[in-house]
Each structure stands twice: as structure tokens, then as C-alpha cells.
Amino acid sequence: MHSLNSVEKGQTEVLTENDTGDERKMLAELGYSQKAIKYYIEKPYMGSLQDADQVSEMLGTCGDTLKIFLKVDQGKIKDVRYQVLGCPGAISAAMASVDLVKGKHLEYARNIDDGDVFTQLEDVPAKKHHCIQLAVKALHKAIDEYKNGNGRSENIKCQSICSTPGECCKN
Ligand code: FES
């Protein structure tokens, strides 16, 4: 296997830095705040939670999809992750919403609205406000489904052979 020598490694680092720099510049020109850009570039809460208590999905009218994983402990949101197949607006809004609700009671999190997430982001282009709404709707949906006991039955991978497909995953 070909491994990178020090010159190639240096070039790769420069390329990566330039790529991120170009992306940052482009997003800033479009109207994203530095804080929103940081959320988008760093994606601190992107991914999944193996032991999630709730997994829910939200499909936007634009076709973008958000999957949200909630870990709940004694009525409080212990952890959250999002998987986002979507635009920088949706990604940054999803990441920002986690900072607003992590460690908070479910009721508090259910009352978070688009304005709260916008304030947390500081600024995004006006035409991206619906992306914030999508992230907030996904969060609300996950909390509602958690409260209604929908859990993660339809989203987890079945570990054994069920007599009726999906039955064992409901346990
Ligand atoms: Fe679909 Fe941003 S364009 S969420």
C-alpha cells in the first residue's frame, strides 16, 4: 500500500485547509455567521447513539432528511445526535439545537422553537430559515414519539430471527 511521504502529507494538509477555508469564505458570503459555519464544519453532534431511547426521522419538503437519536434519563435529554442528509443550513441548525437542549428537561426541549435556534446560530441566509424549522421539527417529533412510547422499534437492526419480522425488536 502506498503511504504518504512528508511532502505529500504537507500537501494534503494544505489542500484540506484550503478546502475548508474556501467553504468558510463561501458560506460567510452567503450570509452564514461564523458561529453557524463552525457548527457546520465541525459537526459536533453528527452521528448516531447505539443506546438511543428514541430514533425518529423527518423528511423535509426539499427532500432533505434528518434522523435524530435521543438518550433520555429521568426526564432529561442526556444526549442527542443527528444524521443529516441535507444542506449546511440544516446541519448547522441541527448541531445548534443540541447545544440548546442537552441536559434539559423534555418539556423545555419541546418548547425550543426556530427563533431560539436562529439566535444560537446568530445568522443564516433568510432562504435557509426553513432548514432551521426542519431541525426543530425533527427534535419535536422525536420528543413526542418518545413520550408516546414509539421508541426505536422500526429503526434498530434486528439481532435475531423473528417469527414475525420486527417483533423481537419491540422488546
Ligand atoms: Fe432542505 Fe436546507 S434545503 S433543509
In tens, the pLDDT along 12-29 reads 444 445 567 899 999 999
Residue 52 lies in a domain: yes
135 alpha carbon – ligand 1 mean position (Å)? 9
- DSSP state letter for 148: T
Residue 86 lies in a domain: yes
Task: Tell me which residue range forms the domain holding 110.
Answer: 40-147
- pLDDT tens per residue, range 45-77: 999 999 999 999 999 999 999 999 999 999 999
Residue 18 lies in a domain: no
Is 88 touching ligand 1 by the criterion CB < 6 Å? no
The total number of structural domains that make up the chain: 1
Residue with cell 442528509: 85
Cα 101 from Cα 79, distance rounded (Å): 9
pLDDT at 152 > cutoff 80: no
Q: Which atom of ligand 1 is nearest to the CA of 61?
A: 1
Cα 13 to the center of its chain, rounded Å: 27
- The enclosing domain of 106 has a CATH number of 3.90.1010.10
112 alpha carbon – ligand 1 mean position (Å)? 19
pTM score above 0.85 = no
- Grid cell listed for 146: 418518545
129 burial level (CB within 10 Å; 0-12, 13-18, 19+): middle
- Grid cell listed for 35: 458561529
Is 114 touching ligand 1 by the criterion CB < 6 Å? no
42 alpha carbon – ligand 1 mean position (Å)? 18
- What confidence score (pLDDT) does residue 10 get? 44
Is 64 touching ligand 1 by the criterion CB < 6 Å? yes
Q: Rounded to 5 degrees, what are φ and ψ at 4?
A: -70, 130
Q: Are 124 and 33 in contact (CB under 8 A)?
A: yes
- Grid cell listed for 11: 500537501
Residue 7 lies in a domain: no
Which helix (H) or strand (E) segment is 66 a member of? strand 65-73
